[in-house]
Each structure stands twice: as structure tokens, then as C-alpha cells.
Chains A and B, each alone.
Chain A
Amino acid sequence: MDVTDAAARADWAQTATALAPRLLRLAVMLTGSSYEAEDLLQSTFARAQRHGDRIAAMAAPAAYLRTIMVNEHVSRHRRRRLRTVPLSDALELPAAPAAETGPDLWPWLATLPRQQRAVLVLRYYEDLPDGEIAALVGCSPATVRSHASHGLAKLRTLLTDEESR
């Protein structure tokens, strides 16, 4: 979250608009669904608006909004209501593995516990160090390492099982 940071300090509306695409991408990685991601982004902005002016004046508003988003995602109640999902989400269903590029882990990521997936996303998508991830998700760096290790182990098991079928 670097390029947009500098450009987005004028005011809250400008900041939010500038940072929204990157935040939505993070939300997609965290939730695995465009529908859930949009919901998470909306919650993040709703919570952030209370401090909108303050956030817009920060040196790194994107990092602060990311903190809010991860907190919101990790600690919020799972909204498991049945609801109509836009047809476009059907495109996110597991795809057949592509031989050239390796299997798509997307469907397997959905099987990980929420915090474990968040750690993998923050480590390998956001490229954050373990200490920063620990502060974001509210645990120790050792727990972050443990989550990452268990997450990878689970993915390994699933891939191996898939190959043995």
C-alpha cells in the first residue's frame, strides 16, 4: 500500500475512493468471495468514517484501514444467513486444475479457519512481516508462524489427497 498512500491525504472521501480498489482486493483474499468482500469493505469504511478526517491526515492511511479491515474480518460475527448470491460469484467455484500453472488453491483456502487464512493472506499476498501480522490479528508472532505452518500443512494434505484420487 504505497503508491496510493501519498496521493490520498486530501480528505476522507478522496482517501477512501483512492484506497478502495486495493482494500477490496485484500478483502477478496481474506473472504474468498466478491460478495463477502464487498460486505467487509463496506463494514470497514463504516467503522473508519468515525475517524475519517483523522485517517485522511495520516502518513499511511492505507495501513490503518487495512488494520481495521483485518480486525473486522477476524473478530466479526460470521453472518451465516442464507441469502441470494449474485450469479457472478458462481465463477469463483473451484476450477479444474491447470496443468501448466499448477492447481488453483482457491477452493482449498476456503477450508482453512478464518485466522489461519488471514495469516497466509497477510504473509504471502500483503508480504507483511510476522510481527506486523501478529499485531493485526491479535496474537503473538509465534502463533502467526504456527498458523502459517498449519495452513500450509493443510493445503499440502489436500493437494496430496487430490493427487492420489
Chain B
Amino acid sequence: MTPWTDERLVTLLTDTFAAHESVADPAVAQRIAVTAAPRRRWPLTVAVAAAVVLVSGLTVYAVRATEPPPAPSPAPAIPLPVVPVPIAEGRNRSLADAEARHVLADIPVPPGSTRSGSAPTRELRRLGAYNGPVDRSLTRTAWWVVPLSYTDLVAWYDAHSPADVASTFAPDASSPAPHATLDWEASTPSEAYSQPAAAVSYIRRGPHITAIRTDATLAARYDRTAETLAPGTVTSIDITKSAIDGEPRPPSSDATVTDPTRLTSIVSTFNDLPGAVANAEPGGCGSPVGIVYVYAVTFRWPGHTLAVDAGAELCGIGRGLTLDGTELTPTLENSEALDQLLDEAVG
């Protein structure tokens, strides 16, 4: 028997990596670099229209499922000239909640399955997939007992879902593991919430009985409530441009914008920013290398100020908002378009 010391394993590992470098075709890599398309956001008007369509569809679904539809939210008291139809408070969460229920209801289960009011086994509670932005308070779960062996169950999902069932196989194994999780992207992402995902976790209970849990996971974005928007009456915008990394680090620079055309452009782009994903568990946080500029902004209009910090995009931290000295709960996603406008304004 070979003594597999750490040193030998590391040597083997580096040899393995070197042996498989050739899988990466440089020509393919360069073609991807040339053809990769820039990310585009939907204009807010399109997003609002899509949200309205989605609400209508989900409401029909909710009624059919004898569940109460999401409660309509009150319209903002103050009409805002820049964004004609701002999304009302709580709307994104309602949409996400309805979508989670919808996704859960759409997860297929084999014929003859019996729904259970609670976890059929304690072990099944520990299984479940939580990948990407997930707000656990929005996760919807159902428990089932299925009259199939776990191998037949996996075969059934191979035929009836987009899950990659190979993920349940150990290497060189000819059959699935007796407990595992399958998951797949359940529906299209929305401006209101993160990518919805469906997951099926199973555990063997007998030769021809398997317990499963089905989960629908996602996270809602913060709403662009009236207080998060800059009104058309903004008279000036203070901008601070600073570098967060890189050497030599240039000093911060400030600018105050009062030109009406530029004010309108910045306010409009700012009001188009989507809310950041709310309540999700933190993801990876990388340190930027090189000189990276960030922009803090303060909108001023008679009697009010709305300060917008630079956020920390690489850590998944959105731009924080402070209205008249009071920190607001919602944070916003960053945007290259806004940064570009602010950079032009600073000069």
C-alpha cells in the first residue's frame, strides 16, 4: 500500500493539473474574449411592465391554489417626475414569495407520492441546497414519501426534470448515492428577485420507499421605494471620487454638479438602479487589484439630502442610502452607467 503523504499528494496534484492544462484551447479562449457580449439591463419601464405581467400571472396562480394573492401595496404619496411608476414598498418581496410558491408547486414528484406535513426523517432536514443568493425566510419546502427505490427515483428525475442526475453518483459508481440533492434553475430571473432554484433532496427509507424534500429558493431585491429615489427638484449633486486599491493611490477628488442637463441625467440613471438582493447570506468577497475608483454621491434639494455611499460590489454589498441623516434599509446595486456619468462629472 502506497503511503500517500501530503507531499506526495501535492506532487500528484500539480502533475494532474499540468497534464490537463491542454484541455484549455487558447484559440477558444480568445474567441470567447472577443465575442463576450456586455451585460445589459432592462430599462425600468420594461421591468415595470414585466413585473405587472408577472403579478397578473402569479395572482391567477395564487387564486387557483386557494392561497390569498399578494396584498396590493399603496402607491407612493408623492408623484415623482423621474420615475413615473416607482415600485411600491414590499412589492419585490411579494413577487419573490409568490414565485417561490409557484416554483415549489411546479417541482415534479413521481406518481403515487404522498405529501407529508413534516419531515419524514430527521436526516432529511439537514439536506437541501442553498446556492447563490438565498433568503431562507422565503424558502418554500414540501415533504414527500415516494414509493420508489432511490435509484428509481433518480432515474425518474432524469426523465422528468432538468437536473443533472450525475451529481448523485460517486466516482466510478454505477448507481446513485442513497442520499443526495438534485437542483436546477427553476425559472427566469427577474428584476424583483434572484434566480429561483428548485431542489430535490432524497434519502433512502426502505428497498422501495424514499423520502424526499422539495425546496424552492430565491431572494428578493430591495424595492425602490419613494424615499430611495431622487426627485426632479434636485438642485445640486456632490460627488466624491476615491480609489479603493492600487498603487500609487491617487487622492480623492470632489465635484459639485449644478448643470440642469447633467443633474437630470445623473438623477435618472440613479433612479434606474435596481435594489440589491436583500437578506441573502454573504457570498465571496474578493480584493480588487489595481486602481479601482468608487463614487459617493449626495443629492441635495430644498430641505433634504440623500447620501449614497459607494458600496462594495466585490463583497456583494450594495450602495447604502442615508436620507436626511437617517440610514435607510434598502441598498442598491452598482451600475457602470452611473459610475461613468459621475466620472465625467468629476472630470
**A25 → B minimal CB distance (Å):** 4
Which residues of B are interface residues toward A (Cβ below 8 A)? 1-2, 4, 6, 9-17, 19-21, 23-26, 28-30, 32-34, 36-39, 131-132, 158, 162-164, 167, 170-172, 182-185, 195, 197, 246-247, 282-293, 314-316, 336
B contact residues around A101 at 8 Å (CB): 15, 19
Known: A21-B26, A80-B182. A163 touches B290 (CB 8 A): no
Closest to A137 in B: B284
Given that A67-B289, A77-B132, A135-B285 are known contacts, is A156 also in contact with B185, CB under 8 Å in the complex? no
Q: Is the CB of A80 within 8 A of B184?
A: yes
Partner of B185, one of A49, A77, A120, A125: A77
Q: Tell me if A6 counts as interface (CB < 8 A to partner B).
A: no
Pairwise interchain contact A45-B17, C-beta atoms closer than 8 A:
no
Given contacts A64-B289, A81-B164, A160-B1, contact A59 B247 (CB under 8 A): yes
Residues of B within 8 A of A46 (CB): 36-39
Q: How far is the CB of A121 from chain B (nearest CB, A)?
A: 7
- A150 contacts the other chain (Cβ, under 8 Å)? no
Q: Which of A60-81 contact B (CB under 8 A)?
A: 60-61, 63-64, 67-68, 70-71, 74-81
Tell me if A67 and B16 are in contact (CB < 8 A). no
20 contacts between A and B (CB under 8 A): A13-B33, A19-B33, A21-B29, A28-B23, A45-B33, A47-B39, A51-B336, A67-B288, A74-B283, A77-B197, A79-B184, A82-B158, A105-B16, A120-B13, A121-B17, A136-B286, A138-B315, A155-B9, A158-B171, A160-B2
Given the complex of chains A and B, what is the CA–CA distance between A107 and B166 in angstroms? 13
- Quick check: B286 and A70 within 8 Å, CB to CB? yes
> How many Å from the CB of B159 to the closest CB on chain A?
10
Q: From B159, which residue of chain A is reached at the shortest CB distance?
A: A82
What residues of chain A lie closer than 8 Å to B290, measured between beta carbons? 55, 57-61, 63-64
Most buried by A among B9, B34, B184, B290: B290
The 0/1 profile, CB within 8 Å of B marked 1, for residues 109-141 of chain A is: 111000000001100110000001001111000
How far, in angstroms, from A76 to B197 measured CA to CA in the complex? 12
- Would you call A11 an interface residue if the criterion is a C-beta within 8 Å of the partner chain's C-beta atoms? no
Judging by beta carbons under 8 Å apart, are B14 and A125 in contact?
yes
Tell me the smallest distance from the CB of A117 to a CB of chain B, in Å: 11
Choose among A103, A105, A121, A152 the residue with the greatest number of B CB atoms under 10 Å from its CB.
Answer: A105
Contact of A24 among B2, B26, B132, B182 (CB under 8 A): B26
Residue of A nearest to B315 (CB): A138
Residues of chain A within 8 A of B10, CB atoms compared = 124, 152
Size of the A side of the interface (Cβ < 8 Å), in residues, is: 76
A75 touching B283 by the CB < 8 A rule?
yes
* 9 cross-chain pairs, A with B, having the tightest CB-CB distances, nearest first: A58-B290, A138-B284, A45-B36, A67-B286, A20-B29, A24-B29, A21-B26, A20-B33, A16-B33
Q: Which residue of B lies closest to A126 (CB)?
A: B17
Is A42 on the interface with B (CB-CB < 8 A)? yes
Known: A46-B36, A67-B288. 6 other contacts (CB 8 A): A21-B26, A54-B292, A58-B246, A60-B289, A67-B286, A77-B185
Name the CB-closest residue of A to B291.
Answer: A58
Q: Are A77 and B39 in contact, with the CB atoms below 8 A?
A: no
Q: Which residues of B contact A74 (CB under 8 A)?
A: 283-284
Assess A38 versus B293: contact at CB under 8 Å? Given A124-B10, A155-B13. no
- CB neighbours of B195 from chain A (8 A): 77
Q: How far does the Cβ of A8 sit from chain B's closest Cβ, in whole Å?
A: 11
Chain B residues, CB < 8 A from A70: 284, 286
Q: Is A159 an interface residue (CB 8 A)?
A: yes
Residues of chain B lying within 8 A (CB to CB) of residue A60: 289-290
Question: Which chain A residues border B28 with CB–CB below 8 Å?
Answer: 24, 34, 38
Measured CB to CB, the nearest residue on chain A to B286 is A67
Q: Given the complex, which residues of A lie within 8 Å of B315, measured CB to CB? A: 138
B contact residues around A28 at 8 Å (CB): 20-21, 23-24
Contacts A59-B246, A121-B17 given; does A135 touch B12 at CB 8 Å = no
Bound Cα distance from A63 to B291, whole angstroms: 12
B29 & A41 in contact (Cβ 8 Å cutoff): yes
- B36's nearest neighbour on chain A, judged by CB, is A45
Q: Which residue of A lies closest to B166 (CB)?
A: A80
* Chain A residues with CB under 8 A of B247: 59
- CB pair B34 A159 closer than 8 Å: no
Contact B16 A58 (CB under 8 A): no
Which residues from A are CB-within-8-Å of B288?
64, 67
Q: Nearest Cβ distance between residue B193 and chain A, in whole angstroms?
A: 13
Contact, CB under 8 Å: B32 / A24 = yes
